[in-house]
Amino acid sequence: MGVHFGVSTLFVFCLLALSANAREFRITARPGSDITSELSKLFKEACQCVDKSTVLIPKGEFKLGEIEMMGPCKAPIIFVLQGTVRADGNVNGKDFWVAFRRITNFRLNGGGIFDGEGNASWRANNCHKTSLTQCKRLPISIRFDYITDGKVRDITSLDAKNFHINVIGAKNLTFEDIRIVAPDESPNTDGIHVGRSDGIKIINTNIKTGDDCISVGDGMKNLLVERVTCGPGHGISIGSLGLYGHEEDVTGVKVVNCTLRNTDNGVRIKTWPSAACSTTASGIHFENIILQNVSNPILIDQEYCPWNRCNKNKPSSIKLVDIKFKNIKGSSGNKDAVKLLCSKGFPCKNVEIGDIDITYNGKDGPATFQCSNVSPKLVGKQCPKACSSPVTKLPGH
């Protein structure tokens, strides 16, 4: 017969734990066991404590099914993952594997691994070949929804079935010393996707994956990306923006001191033509970026239209304002070193290009710098020469 803990019982338990100076809620299952039920129970107990509590998954490998850890909690929560938790092969359940939701003063650390076991299910993901409304959506590995004043550090996300990490509705949340790993052919495995949040930091993080290393959705305010190494992957992307109605403005994005290696794109902003909304992306700043064999190193693409599901003759209604690309240097994987393809309906405003030095050694070279519907302010030196090349369409456009 199972033991049921009511709220009042948990409150007494926490007080006893406090008096014994033991506020740790530790997984006791043997390695190899499924800890889903035990972890759910322990988190609920910790969440009811009136003082700081720690939920601990010790070293070892454990099975973990879909789990939602929901606040609000009565006191700060520290979640320590020292071991490895492995997902099952289920692709027909919820849209997430692990979710942390509505928690204030939250910490996740411990050096452990979230293994999404995505290899067996990537063949079921055709979202990179068809529209998002028609494809089969696989579960996101780790969701952080409406977290306030949190820090996630020293964890690994391995082989996610879909996005590795998704953040929405968060405020003052920092990711530091994160490792994200998936093969370059793994579809839709964005490293960290953030949107509709304020005050997010992604620092000193290494991302190797099959899609955007970092992707920024609508409604993002005050994002700092610093000392991130990306590659393989699709680079660091703002957008795509404009696919849906009721999207919110993006403002205050700073990407600095980052390195991209062997990626399909470098730093880019992408918006849809015939956009479903008229929002603004402003205050976007890319600086001190090192490129190593990066295709499309600097890209503004306001004609982004995969799957041919838009009216390409109708210009994007997303406004791009106060955009800076400064001190970006290294080698390109194709001749399109810089492409600034802005909307003819709403040309980009206040774009600054400073100290760009991008080389290309391919047989179809030299490197090009293309501009459309934009007159950038030039600071320092630009190699290749700014806006000196005829505009060509991107592949797939």
Give the DSSP letter string of 120-151. TTGGG--TTTS-TTTSPPPPEEEEEES-EEEE
Pairing type for strands 171-176 and 198-208 reads parallel
What letter represents residue 371's amino acid?
C
Kindly report the number of other CB atoms within 10 A of residue 283's CB atom: 17
Helix (H, G, I), strand (E, B) or coil at 36: helix
In whole angstroms, give the CA distance from residue 198 to residue 168: 9
Helix (H, G, I), strand (E, B) or coil at 173: strand
In whole angstroms, give the CA distance from residue 76 to residue 299: 42
* Degrees, nearest 5: CA angle 270-371-364: 95
Residue 379, judged by CB atoms within 10 A of its CB (0-12, 13-18, 19+), counts as middle
CA 334 distance to own-chain centroid:
25
In whole angstroms, give the CA distance from residue 266 to residue 250: 19
3-state secondary structure 173-206: EEEECCEEECCCCCCCCCCEEEECCEEEEEEEEE
Q: Which of 128, 164, 234, 285 is catalytic?
A: 234
Strand partners, 179: 156, 206
Residue 234 is a catalytic residue: yes
In whole angstroms, give the CA distance from residue 248 to residue 271: 13
How large is the angle between the packed helices 36-47 and 7-19, nearest 10 degrees?
80
What letter represents residue 298's amino acid?
I
In whole angstroms, give the CA distance from residue 247 to residue 377: 29
The residue to which tokens 């690994």 are assigned: 156
Contact (CB, 8 A) for 265 and 237: yes
In whole angstroms, give the CA distance from residue 149 to residue 250: 21
Residues labelled catalytic: 234
